[in-house]
Amino acid sequence: MSRARSLFFALLFLVLPVLALPLLAEDRDDDSRFETRYGKNFALPAGGRVTITHGFGDLVIRTHNGNDVQVRATIRSSDEDLGKKIRITAGPEGGGVSITTHFPEVRNHRGHLSYSVDMTVTVPANTPVIAENQFGNIDARGLGGAANLRNKQGSIKAADMRGPLTLGNSFGAIEAVNSGSDLTVNNANGAITIRKVEGSLTAANRFGSVTVTDVRRGATIANANGAIEAMDIGGTLNATNNFGSVKASTIGAATQITTSNARVELSNVQGPATVKNSFGSVEANNIAGALTIDGSNSRVEASTVKGNVTIDNGFGPVKLRGITGSAKIQNGNGDIVIEDLSGALNAVTRFGAVRAERVRGNVDVNSSNGNVRLTDVGAAKVRATFGAVFVERVNGAIDVVNSNGAISVSGLRGAGCQPVTLRTNFSSIKVELPEGVGYTVNARTSFGRINTELPITTTSISDETIVGTIGRGGCKLDLANSNGNITIERD
């Protein structure tokens, strides 16, 4: 019976202050010196409940087709006198059946004392059960009524339960498989493993992982210091963690994830998703609704989102790819990369570059300290401070204001007149214009020159100013520089 010895040493390390109780000895190899068996059956009134209070041994709960409660136990002790003092009381109580194990007060200073009671209770199939154990495992299977199983030092296993189920533990793992109704699980120091829940799930843990698979309805999961993994959730998912990663996939409705110091992976969500993280990366893929990410110090990546994307980040790069809706991004210190966006883009960063490619909607970028490169976008509006701006293949108007960086524009493709306004200081401006489009030109610079490959019918011209028309004129081309050249070229 090495099991009780293991439990003793587990308590020695985990709850040392509690071990003023000298109840379990360190040597269980001699507990076969005394062994006796207990067995009784009790009639269960219709609608009655079974209550079990057990300790210092395993508890097994099973069902049968009869109408009685069957109690079978094996009492073992390394000391015969002690073994004879261990009692089991069972019988009718409160309209049901109550079962309790009793242990004498033990004072043994030599450390060579051990005892245990292993119990099996068999109940009618649909009977409600409340069971509590200490210093031993609980194994329940096939209960059809509501069940509440609690343990303090030992594992809990529950399988093929059909009624509402509540599981609670302090030091030990919890495993629930094939639960036919709602399931509530609370643990403090041990892993939680859940597979197949026909109802909804509520799970909470402090020190240990939580692994959940195949929940028909929604799931609410909270952890403090362990990983969360949730897969195949039929309804909504709400997961909260502090110091542990969160991984969720194949969620049937809206999803909300909050963690502080770990990685978040989210995929295959059939609804909107919201993620909040402080110190850890966020990766989201294949989201059917809108995506909102609040990451204070996170690397953020999202792809294949069929709704609008909103990201507020502090320190870390942001990358989006394959977004059906629009995107609004605020990043404090990190690059922003956008590829294949169907809607509009609004991006703000302080210390980082911005690169956007294949954006069908209009683009509005504000960058304080980084380059901006826009390719294959709608109308482009850029405000930059320290960094170059490159705009290529634009289908709408262009408005770029830069304080201390170059501006380069090429590939104007929009139908009809698309006005161009470019302003910078302390660098150059270069713009390439398509053939056959008329522009009304107002180009001016200080401490620089204006060069043009296209013929301009001028109304005012000098080394630092050109006012006139290209072709028939009409489309606005406004270029202003304070300390650099302006160049107009053919595209």
Helix (H, G, I), strand (E, B) or coil at 3: helix
pLDDT of 111: 62
- Would the pLDDT of 11 be above 60? no
Helix (H, G, I), strand (E, B) or coil at 179: strand
Number of Cβ within a 10 Å radius of residue 168:
18
Backbone angles phi, psi at 346, to 5 degrees: -125, 115
Average pLDDT, the chain: 91
pLDDT tens for residues 133-167?
999 999 999 999 999 999 999 999 999 999 999 99
Do 406 and 465 form a contact (C-beta atoms < 8 A)?
A: no
pLDDT tens for residues 292-337?
999 888 899 999 999 999 999 988 999 999 999 999 999 988 999 9
How far does Cα 96 stand from its chain's mean position? Answer: 44
pLDDT of 6: 40
What is the pLDDT confidence band of residue 464, given thresholds at 50, 70 and 90?
A: confident
Tracing tokens 């210190």 back to the chain, one arrives at: 333
pLDDT of 112: 72
- Would the pLDDT of 7 be above 90? no
pLDDT tens for residues 12-21?
333 333 333 3
CA–CA separation, 178 and 64 (whole Å) = 19
- In the Cβ-directed half-sphere of 17, how many Cα atoms lie within 13 Å? 0
pLDDT of 27: 39
Tell me which residue of 74, 82, 68, 14 sits closest to 39, measured CA to CA: 74
Backbone angles phi, psi at 188, to 5 degrees: -115, -40
Tell me which residue of 372, 396, 399, 392 sits closest to 479, measured CA to CA: 399
- Would the pLDDT of 29 be above 70? no
One-letter amino acid for residue 139 of the chain: D
pLDDT of 10: 38
Do 352 and 369 form a contact (C-beta atoms < 8 A)?
A: yes
75 vs 491: which has the higher pLDDT: 75
**Rounded mean pLDDT, 39-43:** 96
Q: Which of 60-69, 338-347, 360-369, 409-418 has the lowest mean pLDDT?
A: 409-418
Check residue 17 and report its DSSP letter.
G
Number of Cβ within a 10 Å radius of residue 215:
28
Contacting residues for 445 by C-beta, under 8 A, at least 6 apart: 464, 465, 480, 481, 482, 484, 485, 486
Helical ranges in 381-478 per DSSP H:
none
CA–CA separation, 115 and 93 (whole Å) = 28
Encoding tokens for residue 164? 């509402």
- Would the pLDDT of 109 be above 60? no
Number of Cβ within a 10 Å radius of residue 436:
7
Tell me which residue of 305, 208, 288, 226 sits closest to 254, measured CA to CA: 288
Do 108 and 62 form a contact (C-beta atoms < 8 A)?
A: no
Q: Percent of the chain having pLDDT more than 90? A: 81
